[in-house]
Amino acid sequence: MIKCKHNDTKLIWGPPGTGKTKTVSCLLFALLRLKIRTLACAPTNTAVLQVAVPLHGLVKDSLGYDTYGLGDMVLFGNRSRMKVDSYPGLRDVFLDYRVKQLIKCFAPLTGWTHCLESMIKLLEDPGKQYSLYKQEKGIMSLECFAMLSNDVVLHAFRAYKDCQENDDCITLEDYVKENWKDL
């Protein structure tokens, strides 16, 4: 099949249940392992899925890690008609899902750049990040509280009470777990 000079075409045919779909899936898997780009088309969404599901299984079983390596396989079509979500793991290779994941990765406020910068800030000075959190919530130490004027003291006390009543106030450990869990 690789760089063949002749125009031989082979037809895989046979009655139902004789392994035609499995043969096509195995051929596609072999070509994928050889790093040969291949486009497989079928006349219906069902036919596409009948090839994609076993191929996905073969690729996934051959991987050393959970989803690393599925990047060389792409499935596209009408998501609702194909019922991609009905097949475990198949959405990992579905084009629309990958586009959504890439949009998340490159989003300015939640993407990988922001997460990396946030992690650097946390690792450089976790105390400062926690102080900023407490400042944002209006929480302060007893020493700082005692040094304030009456209006500010009243505001800080109310913020502290609200925080306690609503369980909004968290420890440094919980703050890191909650606000940095994506990193």
- The string of DSSP codes covering 56-104 is HHHHHHH-SSSSTTGGG--B-S-HHHHTGGGSTTGGGGBHHHHHHHHHH
Calculate the CA dihedral of residues 160, 164, 166, 171 and round it to 10 degrees: 100
Among 137, 125, 123, which residue's Cα sits nearest to residue 171? 137
pLDDT at 132 over 60: yes
Decide if 180 contacts 122 (C-beta within 8 A): yes
Q: Which two three-digit tokens encode residue 35? A: 């790093």
Which has the higher per-residue pLDDT, 121 or 65? Answer: 121
| pTM higher than the cut 0.85 | no
pLDDT at 137 over 90: no
pLDDT confidence of residue 134 = 81
Q: Which residue has the tokens 């990958």?
A: 98
